């Protein structure tokens, strides 16, 4: 251990004090002081509960999330706030210490919560106060640079996705000759999936049970990895999907999911589950699934589908309601295929850029962890 450093438990360094409820009548949008919940500022008030800068630790809900506070603040009862001996420890050093400990990993329960005694039992190394301040200063500067780089990468990621979205919308607003408008019910049939019995759900198997979790909000199939659901019971033949089949989500189990389409990537492996609509073209209709996949993904169509849904806790739509949606399309199959080729090429480039920026964001997070590790092992 580096000279002057001491090994201590977190409970010997700081205390986690309970927050307190604040009546709604005391909450004011333009209040003088911040009101902190488990994951940051939730409101404002003209009252304060503590009058020194501190660190808020989420106690319930967003358990383990941490935030630095202003001088005077009100911590709600779903939080802890930190008190400590200012003659022995530096506030920002303690903030980085708690960041390094990744307290979210200590959260337990259906509504995640953290027991402060478990936080207290964590063991770390602490240098004298002047060294704490020096380390905190280095981390402040480094993390500011990382935050700027992260913001730029996130902006570039949004721009890459917006580029494709903009081009997609332009295809359907700047129509050429030969385009017509019809309701989806005139063009296709949408069939409900099968209510597969939950007693046969499995963590592995030959048949993937599709759920809303397999739909990207922006459309497209995604593998859920360890969260993937499989089915081991008896399967009706008509509910085993083929490559290229198109499904549309008819439930809002994720924000913006309603109307999101996917194309099945492989035959004989995926099951047509309830709340997912199988879209099949009507006889004689100039239709390619690949083109109408993009039709379903346009903002205008998704909005109408979303607005058609009803329900209190979870909103749903139906094949009949989706069938009323009016869509525009070229009657020429060759034109549909040309549009698909251009959109697919742009989508591929967008995905390449998105992957690049996502890797950069992951690298920045790894850099933060590396710096924190160096800081608390005396290597800075």
Provide the 3-class DSSP secondary structure of residue 247. strand
Distance between CA atoms of 375 and 370, rounded to whole angstroms? 9
Q: pTM above 0.75?
A: no
Read off the pLDDT of residues 184-228 as tens digits, 9 standing for 90 and up.
999 999 999 999 999 999 989 999 999 888 888 777 888 888 888
Say what angle helices 289-297 and 299-308 make with each other, to 10 degrees.
70
Task: Using the structure block, give the residue that is written with the tokens 């919560």.
Answer: 113
Distance between CA atoms of 109 and 269, rounded to whole angstroms? 35
What is the bridge-based pairing of β-strands 270-271 and 33-37?
unpaired
Distance between CA atoms of 62 and 52, rounded to whole angstroms? 23
CA-wise closest residue to 201 among 217, 168, 224: 224
The DSSP secondary structure of 91-109, one letter per residue, reads HHHHHHHHHHHTGGGG-BT
CA atoms within 13 A on the CB side of 45: 22
Stretch 273-298: mean pLDDT, rounded? 94
> Would you give the DSSP letter of residue 282?
P
Read off the pLDDT of residues 288-318 as tens digits, 9 standing for 90 and up.
999 999 999 888 898 999 899 888 778 889 9
Decide: 259 and 272 in contact? Cβ < 8 Å: no
């Amino acid at each position: 251990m580096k000279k002057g450093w001491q090994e201590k438990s977190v409970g010997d360094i700081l205390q986690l004090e309970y927050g307190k409820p604040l009546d709604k009548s005391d909450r004011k949008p333009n209040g003088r002081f911040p009101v902190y919940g488990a994951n940051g500022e939730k409101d404002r008030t003209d009252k304060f509960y503590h009058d020194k800068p501190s660190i808020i630790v989420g106690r319930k809900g967003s358990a383990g999330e941490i935030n630095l506070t202003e001088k005077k603040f009100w911590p709600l009862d779903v939080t802890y706030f930190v008190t400590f001996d200012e003659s022995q420890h530096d506030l920002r050093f303690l903030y980085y210490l708690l960041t390094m400990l990744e307290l979210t990993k200590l959260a337990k329960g259906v509504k995640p919560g953290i027991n402060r005694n478990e936080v207290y039992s964590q063991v770390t190394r602490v240098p004298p106060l002047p060294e704490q301040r020096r380390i905190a200063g280095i981390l402040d500067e480094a993390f500011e640079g990382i935050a700027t780089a992260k913001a730029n990468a996130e902006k570039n990621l949004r721009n890459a996705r917006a580029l494709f979205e903009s081009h997609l919308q332009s295809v359907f607003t700047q129509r050429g000759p030969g385009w017509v408008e019809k309701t989806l019910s005139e063009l296709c049939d949408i069939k409900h999936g099968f209510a597969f019995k939950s007693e046969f759900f499995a963590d592995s198997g030959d048949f993937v049970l599709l759920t809303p979790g397999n739909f990207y909000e922006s459309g497209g199939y995604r593998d859920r990895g360890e969260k993937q659901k499989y089915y081991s019971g008896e399967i009706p033949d008509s509910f085993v999907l083929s490559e290229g089949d198109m499904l549309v989500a008819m439930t809002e189990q994720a924000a913006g999911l309603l109307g999101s389409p996917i194309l099945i990537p492989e035959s004989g492996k995926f099951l047509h589950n309830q709340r997912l609509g199988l879209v099949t073209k009507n006889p004689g209709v100039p239709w390619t699934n690949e083109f109408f996949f993009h039709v379903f993904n346009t903002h205008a169509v998704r909005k109408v589908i979303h607005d058609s849904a009803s329900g209190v806790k979870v909103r749903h739509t139906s094949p009949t309601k989706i069938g009323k949606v009016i869509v525009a399309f070229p009657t020429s199959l060759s034109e549909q295929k040309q549009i698909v080729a251009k959109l697919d090429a742009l989508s591929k480039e967008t995905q390449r850029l998105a992957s690049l920026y996502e890797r950069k964001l992951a690298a920045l997070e790894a850099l933060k962890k590396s710096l924190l590790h160096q800081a608390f092992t005396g290597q800075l």
